Amino acid sequence: MRKKIYQLHRRLSIIIAIPVLLWAISGFMHPIMTNIRPAIATQGILSVPVDPTRIHISLADALRKHHIDSCLNFRLVHIDTNWFYQVQLAGAGGNAVPGSAGAPIYISCTNGNVLTAGDWLYAQYLARQFLEGPMEGMRAKPGEVRVIPVSLAGSGTHDCCGAATETVLNPVKGAKVTNVSMVHAYDKEYKSINRLLPVYRVSFDRPDGIRVYVETTQDRFSFAMDNRRAVFDEIFRIFHTWGWLDFLGKGRLAVEMLVALTALFTTVLGIYIFFTTRGPRVARNGMVKARRNHRYTAIVAALFTLMWTFSGSFHAFSKLRDDARDEYFVAAHFASDVTGFDLTRLQGVCPRPVTNISLVGMDGAAYWRVTMLPEKTATHKDLMKDRGAVLSPVAYVRTTDYSVIADGDKHYAAWMATQFSRRPAGEIRSVSPVTAFGDEYNFTDKRLPVWKVSYDAGGHERWYVETCSGRLSSKVDDRMVVEGYSFSVFHKHHFMDWGGKTARDASTMFWVLMQVILVMIGLILWFRRKRSLRPQAGDRVLSGSPVGLGKDDQQTNG
């Protein structure tokens, strides 16, 4: 029986040796990849108070000027000191999916003119801020006229559309933009792990060929890629996530799961062999010495082999289920007549300076969602390292009488969860803000800050909702969270978080290296055994079997 187990272990080891070796080597690269990411000045745009002296035309009047009778939503954005209404319009057939109805339009807050190619320009403006930081000397103080004096022909009136275009297309410093394109679907470079769609891909004329992906509707940095990172990323895609099997669709996940489970089973067999057999002690025998090295290397690395193969197969299995989070959103049409806000009146009911305004519909009523300047302002240079975000104060002001809802953002988060879950509001157990990534809601979920709405029903469902975009960020329950913890702790070594990212990366790389050594010793043993079984010149062969077997095989007892 032991002999059969040993033979099965050896044969399975040869089958999974190359896949495990490729997984291990590419896994060793992953911590390196996270530390050679393209240099980005910041991953957050500093919020600034809305300058009331730049709001010369109401949004309602601007929309009527262009014969627009409704919109999905709007925000206030600025390109340098030129302010615009960023308006999301419904698409053909009354499409009310945020971000899917095409690019938003940009209407000047000064004169109501539409900024030509506004979203295309704004994507470049954001990308440059993320890549190079604010343009020194280009930002004016509130009430100050912009540095570049662009005027309407023959009128002497400041042309904010022309000034904004000039700012973007002719920056005073920095690399030239070579290409701007909207990305509506994930691809080999911009993968589904980045979560955000649609985004713009902005390429810069630099030796590193850097590309910055931005989400214009939330002023959000999504991803950056340069030529060096692209090489590592492609190697990881091919050898670790087996992108070369993408033509199989979800069949790729089934293949990965099968190989990982085979590796798990092979490891269990190896552990059994170690504790039920004793290696031979033959002096000056190279094969026996190599086998002893393999035995002890294997048993040391076995725990982490089990961790990686189990969590990897579990993760692949969980991916067979469609990720439907993008199908959950709240959106409504707002008539142009209700979009005319009074900034002075809004500022009067808000305790902090107003930095942005948008519209939300809730329980049949419309509200101004007013974002205010936090007491401590900070941009996030690196969200992966910071792992947290500032929760800006938000007020929900009824559009009809400018009354403020107590805990409006919390109330809206709960309302969103009831729309997504189809459960009564009375079943909600708790609603709490999430401003940092953890094990359950981690960096792969991308969005921060969000609200966590918990239920007792449905396996203790937790709905993570982003109120600023009206979208679901993540949904987990007790069953799903097991896989999340498994992958986080067992596969990505987050049990080392107490030592920081450097300690976690060092742990990952050391134990991955042990897997590489384990497989290499095993392959050396296999090749040496194959060579020793090959008939040599002068050996007598009886019944098709070599008689002159090597001493290593003659003396092996399992």
How much of the chain exceeds pLDDT 90, in percent? 44
**φ, ψ (nearest 5 deg) of residue 376:** -115, 110
CA 155, chain centre distance (Å): 48
* 26 phi-psi bin (left φ>0, alpha ψ -120 to 50, beta other): alpha
Angle value at C-alpha 196, between 316 and 41, nearest 5 degrees: 110
Mean pLDDT value across residues 467-486: 89
Which pLDDT belongs to residue 128?
95
pLDDT tens track for 363-387: 989 999 999 998 876 666 666 666 6
Query: How much of the chain, in percent, has pLDDT values that exceed 70?
Result: 85
- Strand spans (E) along 142-237: 177-183, 199-204, 211-215, 220-225
3-state secondary structure of 491: helix
Q: Is the pLDDT of residue 158 over 70?
A: no
Give yes or no for residue 499 having a pLDDT over 50.
yes
Q: pLDDT value at position 286?
A: 61
Amino acid 558: pLDDT: 38
What's the first-to-final CA gap in the chain, in angstroms?
11
- Per-residue tokens: 45: 């745009």
Query: Can you give 230-260 as a three-state secondary structure string?
Result: HHHHHHHHHHCCCHHHHHHCCHHHHHHHHHH
Backbone angles phi, psi at 133, to 5 degrees: 90, 175
| Minimum mean pLDDT range among 98-102, 328-332, 373-377, 440-444 | 98-102
Task: Compare 272 and 409 and report the one with higher pLDDT.
Answer: 409
Cis geometry, peptide bond prior to residue 198 (ω within 30 degrees of 0): yes
Mean pLDDT score across all residues of the chain? 84
> CA-CA distance, 108 to 136, in Å (whole number)?
24
Give residue 117's pLDDT band: very low, low, confident or very high (50, 70, 90). very high
The b/e string for 246-267 (b: 16+ C-beta within 10 A; e otherwise) is eeeeeebbeebbebbbbbbebb
Residue 453 near residue 465, CB atoms below 8 Å: yes
Question: What is the predicted pLDDT for the residue at 375?
Answer: 84
Q: How far apart are CA 325 and CA 449, in angstroms?
A: 17
Mean pLDDT across the stretch 26-30?
A: 84
Listed range (234-238, 492-496, 548-552) with the worst mean pLDDT: 548-552
Per-residue pLDDT tens digits for 517-542 = 888 887 877 787 777 766 655 555 44
Q: How far is the CA of 440 from the CAs of 80, 100, 463, 476, in angstroms?
A: 38, 29, 12, 8
Per DSSP, 189 falls in state: S
The pLDDT assigned to 251 comes to 92
pLDDT of residue 546: 38
Q: Which helix (H) or strand (E) holds 281?
A: none
pTM, full prediction:
0.84
CA pair distance 74, 341, nearest whole angstrom = 12
CA–CA gap between residue 488 and residue 486 (Å, rounded): 6
- The answer to whether 553 and 6 have CB atoms below 8 angstroms apart is no
Spatial distance between the Cα atoms of 356 and 394, rounded to a whole number of angstroms:
10
278-286 own/partner pairs: CB under 8 Å, 24+ apart: 278/557, 280/555, 280/556, 280/557, 282/555, 285/551, 285/552, 285/555, 286/528, 286/552
Q: What is the pLDDT of residue 131?
A: 94
- Taking each helix axis as running N to C, give the angle between helix 160-169 and helix 118-132, from 0 to 180 degrees, rounded to the nearest 10: 50
R_g over Cα of the chain: 30
**pLDDT (tens digit per residue) in 181-233:** 999 999 989 998 899 999 999 999 999 999 999 999 999 999 999 999 999 88
Is the sign of the CA dihedral 444, 445, 450, 451 positive or negative?
negative
Largest interatomic CA distance in the chain: 106
